[in-house]
Amino acid sequence: MTATTHDDHHDHGPAKGIMRWITTTNHKDIGTLYMITALIMFFVGGAMALVIRAELFEPGMQYVDPLFFNQMTTLHALVMVFGAVMPAFAGLANWMIPMMIGAPDMALPRMNNWSFWILPFAVCLLASTLFMEGGAPSAGWTLYPPLVLQGGNNLPFAVFSVHLLGISSIMAAINIIVTVFNMRAPGMTWMKLPMFVWTWVITAFLLIAIMPVFAGAVTMLLTDKFFGTSFFNAAGGGDPVLYQHLFWFFGHPEVYVLILPSFGVVSQIIPTFARKPLFGYSSMVYATASIGLLSFIVWAHHQYTVGMPIQGELYFTYATMLIAVPTGVKVFNWLATMWKGAMTFETPMLFAIAFVVLFTMGGFTGLMMSISPADLQYHDTYFIVAHFHYTLVTGAVFAILAAVYYWLPKWTGYMYDERLGKLHFWLTTISVNVCFFPQHFSGLAGMPRRIPDYAVQFAEFNAMSSVGAFVFGFAQLILAYVVIQSIRGGDKATDEVWEGAKEHGLEWQLPSPPPYHTWTTAPDIK
């Protein structure tokens, strides 16, 4: 089967204007649509976060009522995960994977179009719950019963939205798997695939395995509320902890869905700016695969406080600690790639290095939380909030920012403004630490998460957090400006994109496999 492009409407010529974007089956167009949607949702989710931080700037109730505050915590998380980070990585996958493996397009171009267009409608459906009687769900992004069942009639809309988002993700994942398995150029063997392609293939398998579990769990919530079942209702013989197991069996691999493509991006960028091939390519591939497998057997470390048997706690402690090993291999390989490299520090490299440092810090706090007796102290405090924002903001979001700066000249044909890029980097990196680092201390001192008011002893740390959050949020306007400026034109991007590249022979990317993997049978692939 041949891949089609948006020019396949050969009867009437290619579609023009808005119809080109609605009907396109071209992987680059769809990648662009995903990235634009992700950017818009990044600002929407960010605005919700700023509502939260404005309320927490000082003790007492200032701006919003507690119910709306909880709706913001719920929607902020769902919009950021399903509306911003996952679509951004889907956009990167659509743009880059066919080019990286020498394919003319994605394998299933019409399904590709469909998987994108479900997304904006699903997110709008979720946001529409804000305007319903009783407002949006206010039980956290985990949608735990019995709390989530207390709300108004927003639940069916939220559940339907989750189903649509899941369908969109599964279709994108199937497309990536079929493309990489069937459309690699001659000579492009598995152990020659760029790391970004590898991480996405493993991520795609995770998505196909976990999304139906989440869909099943939220459907059971729906039948509990409207059809008289008692899956999670203790009065009818059910158990709310069953929902937690189902949710986290989805939720834990989900965080690796958000972070594995980040590993792929960083594994492309660091070799480029260190002017060295990636150190330990095959160990990176195996580490990625083992992280994917291990992510399925550690879910209950989110549930140490539910009263599970001591053997269960012991098992989940050991299994969770085990994930630190392949992750450590990756960090070691990135450091070894940089070691004695001819490094330069353009914006993509700055974000990649910040990713390595700050994501590792998030990993260390994760290791702390894997220890079940200690986690009884951390659980549901701001320490948890600090931990997962270090993995998802300085992890996933930083990797996306690095990727945007890295590939933007390739996408637009024009160079971005390096000075603005560096300004964006420093403002972002400093403010994100001012925002989330103090939360470790608040959490260790016992400040609970998801509360609109708090004891006066936490005032200073919360004020710092809120200032950091606002600076971080507004710094992202620089990103939007840089992207728009690059799309509109400027200095032409050449083969040697970054300054000083000529003497080092720096092109778009070094292939992530070592240089002895030559492109003998497919010389025209870059």
**What structural domains does the chain harbor?**
21-509 (1.20.210.10)
Phi, psi of 46, deg, nearest 5: -65, -40
Whether 327 is catalytic: yes
Catalytic residue (choose from 301, 387, 389, 440): 301
Catalytic residue (choose from 95, 200, 243, 256): 256
Catalytic residue (choose from 29, 55, 224, 254): 254
Tens-of-pLDDT digits for all 526 residues of the chain? 444 444 444 445 567 789 999 999 999 999 999 999 999 999 999 999 999 999 999 999 999 999 999 999 999 999 999 999 999 999 999 999 999 999 999 999 999 999 999 999 999 999 999 999 888 999 999 999 999 988 778 999 999 999 999 999 999 999 999 999 999 999 999 999 999 999 999 999 999 999 999 999 999 999 999 999 999 999 999 999 999 999 999 999 999 999 999 999 999 999 999 988 999 999 999 999 999 999 999 999 999 999 999 999 999 999 999 999 999 999 999 999 999 988 999 999 999 999 999 999 999 999 999 999 999 999 999 999 999 999 999 999 999 999 999 999 999 999 999 999 999 999 999 999 999 999 999 999 999 999 999 999 999 999 999 999 999 999 999 999 999 999 998 888 877 776 555 444 454 444 444 443 333 333 344 4
> What are the C-alpha distances in Å from 287 to residues 19, 68, 364, 402?
43, 42, 18, 22
Compute CA 4 distance to the chain's CA centroid, rounded to the nearest angstrom: 29
Written as six digits, the tokens of 59 are 């003790």
pTM for the whole thing?
Answer: 0.92
- Positive or negative, the CA dihedral 270, 278, 186, 288 is negative
Whether 16 is catalytic: no
Compute CA 284 distance to the chain's CA centroid, rounded to the nearest angstrom: 20
* Residue that is written with structure tokens 């579609």 in the block: 15
CB 276 within 8 A of CB 335: no
Whether 254 is catalytic: yes
Whether 496 is catalytic: no
Compute CA 497 distance to the chain's CA centroid, rounded to the nearest angstrom: 27
Q: How far apart are CA 181 and CA 462, in angstroms?
A: 49
Task: Return the exposure string of 109-121: e unless at least 16 CB atoms fall within 10 Å of the residue's CB, then b.
Answer: bebbbbbbbbbbe
pLDDT tens digits for range 153-202? 899 999 999 999 999 999 999 999 999 999 999 999 999 999 999 999 99
Whether 422 is catalytic: no
Whether 449 is catalytic: yes
Q: How far apart are CA 242 and CA 316, in angstroms?
A: 17
pLDDT at res. 57: 96
Catalytic residue (choose from 29, 105, 224, 346): 105
CB 327 within 8 A of CB 287: yes
Closest Cα partner for 264 from 339, 188, 175, 201? 201
What do you get for the CA distance between the two ends of the chain, in Å? 24
Whether 417 is catalytic: no
Catalytic residue (choose from 129, 327, 442, 512): 327
Name, in order, each residue with C-beta under 8 angstroms of 464's C-beta and a sequence gap of 6 or more: 434, 435, 438
Name, in order, each residue with C-beta under 8 angstroms of 518's C-beta and a sequence gap of 6 or more: none
